[in-house]
A and B are shown apart, each in its own frame.
Chain A
Amino acid sequence: MGMTMTQKILAAHAGLEKVEDGQLIRAKLDIVLGNDITTPVAVNEFKKAGFDRVFDKDKVAIVLDHFVPNKDIKAAEQSKTCREFACAHCVSHFYDVGKMGIEHALLPEQGVVTAGDCIIGADSHTCTYGALGAFSTGVGSTDMAAGMATGTAWFKVPPAIRFDLTGELPSNCSGKDVILTIIGMIGVDGALYKSMEFTGDGAHGLSMDDRLCICNMAIEAGAKNGIFPVDDVTMAYLNGRSERPPVVFEADADAEYEKVIEIDLSTIVPTVACPHLPENTHPASALHHIKVDQVVIGSCTNGRLEDMEAAYNILKGNKIADGIRCIIIPGTMQILRECVERGWYTAFIDAGAVVSTPTCGPCLGGYMGILAAGERCIATTNRNFVGRMGHVDSEVYLASPHTAAASALTGYITEYQE
């Protein structure tokens, strides 16, 4: 019996010819990632355990993104801990204010992660890089510390669910509607401990930004990782960007999958996940009565250039509805710069939105758009748990940039119609 794409990457990094579902392995890591919240805990553990050097200064990435520019004194202390550690260990991929972006928008953009990699990150959305054909998964701070010290991590080889995508997305839908539809279908633990492998003609027709968004939310179905095959779209993205040569792995023709789910992309509709779980999905068209107070367009899920473009196309020349706060957060400095150069930044301001420097900020209820009791936000972020964006009695509705921008113009949940 053959191996899935994920299993082949894991086998190669464990120095084994073959691995099987459930096997415990120790694999070599190409990148170990942390952010300004998880790295300080990892640094403490690293020091407490008596380690004095990182395994490879070029294979550790530390990105300050959750609370920077620092929101308060304590957050500043956490950033300082990261900065001092990165400096002491000559960490080459250290991204501070001015260079930073939201980690999962930044590392692919900068070519730090590539096809065939085995990556752990002390951030649950590390699964994003599966879009590039890498095995990439979220872990905690202690795993990050062990990864920085040894360059390895233990894994239980996962089984997989295969998603065969056919057809083309309608023009008012994006990768976000695909992954919300899937989570609505299988539930928030529908892929628990498993890989989600996306294949088929429909997968090859998706842009890299859509693939990154889909893999980003694999964790919201409980998955260990999400992954796309490497194709022309991947290679076009990686060319001239990837620091290391991409390595292409393909699933064996006789690989075993726990389940195969077929999805015709042409049947996808603008989809919204209602409070308080990402699986609580409904067509946006059924939610026109829901009034919102705030709109957030950004995050590691939807802060990329295509997301900004979708927002621009809908907001340009229009006005955000009275009483609605619309916050737009480009994911990286490069994306922010593109927004400025293309005139999108001005169009956002003219429409009545505010534009922030890159930050995770409101997505996790950090800052830059915290909700009061009883307030509602439609957001392109990834979680709508109780209290996620602020007060325990506030609500978050998850949607695509198209739907979020269209809702900003009406003040109610609204799908975009050309």
Chain B
Amino acid sequence: MNTQGKVFKYPDNVDTDVIIPARYLNTPDARELALHCMEDIDAAFVKQVRPGDVMVAGWNFGCGSSREHAPLVIKTCGTGCVIAKSFARIFYRNAINIGLPILECEAAAEEISPNDEVKVDFDTGVITNLTTGKTYQAQPFPAFIQNIIQSGGLLASLK
């Protein structure tokens, strides 16, 4: 599995309230919610994002509320992958459970710039910055988690 696209870059501690503000959580409909993805931190995001694009962020991405709506809207917008220095633990679980590819890689998150073109290979964890030519190796998932991802999410893995 791969993704390739343009980078949207965000700082440390991006919380789930700015990913999808609670004022919109009166519906579970992912497509409706996705219209407001990142609205309170980057109002232009939903207009600019194209399928396969990559979010790159700092430490503790997805902190705060447990709302699964957060990884769901990022995925529904077409984002191919989120790369961060670290993820908040509930967001990390939720992303795996719903099948949003995420990778932890400090060097990539530090060095990749906004609007760079980036290619990600999930099987190997190799991140290639096509703009600069530099490559990075992300932390691989433990086998247990790889199994959930390969099954197509948590509930599929239980079947």
Contacts and interface: CB of A to CB of B under 8 A. Distances in A.
A308 to B, nearest CB: 25
Interface stretch (B59-67, B75-83, B115-123, B128-136): B59-67
Interface in A182-220: 188-189, 192-193, 219
Given A124-B90, A189-B13, A277-B13, A365 B22 contact: yes
A380 interface: no
Interface stretch (B2-10, B44-52, B93-101, B106-114): B93-101
Interface string A70-96: 011011011001000000000000000
Contacts of B28: 40-41, 44, 78, 81
Contacts of A364: 17, 22, 65
Contacts of A149: 155, 158
Nearest to B95: A140
A387 B40 contact: yes
A392 interface: yes
Interface in A151-177: 154
Nearest to B21: A387
B76 to A, nearest CB: 13
A189 to B, nearest CB: 4
Given A38-B68, A149-B158, A387-B18, A138 B90 contact: yes
A142 B18 contact: no
B153 to A, nearest CB: 7
Contact of B26 (A75, A154, A219, A370): A75
B22 A366 contact: yes
Q: How large is the interface on B (under 10, 10 to 19, 20 to 34, 35 or more residues)?
A: 35 or more
A393 to B, nearest CB: 10
- Most-contacted residue by chain B among A66, A145, A189, A365 (CB, 10 A): A189
Contacts of A38: 66-68
Given A75-B26, A189-B13, A383 B64 contact: yes
B41 A139 contact: no
Contact of A143 (B40, B86, B93): B93
A189 B27 contact: no
A44 B155 CA distance: 12
B23 A142 contact: no
B66 A150 contact: no
A67 interface: yes
A400 B68 CA distance: 29
Given A142-B153, A365-B23, A387-B17, A24 B144 contact: yes
16 contacts: A24-B144, A38-B68, A49-B155, A49-B156, A78-B28, A124-B90, A126-B66, A139-B93, A140-B66, A140-B90, A149-B155, A219-B90, A365-B23, A366-B22, A370-B23, A387-B40
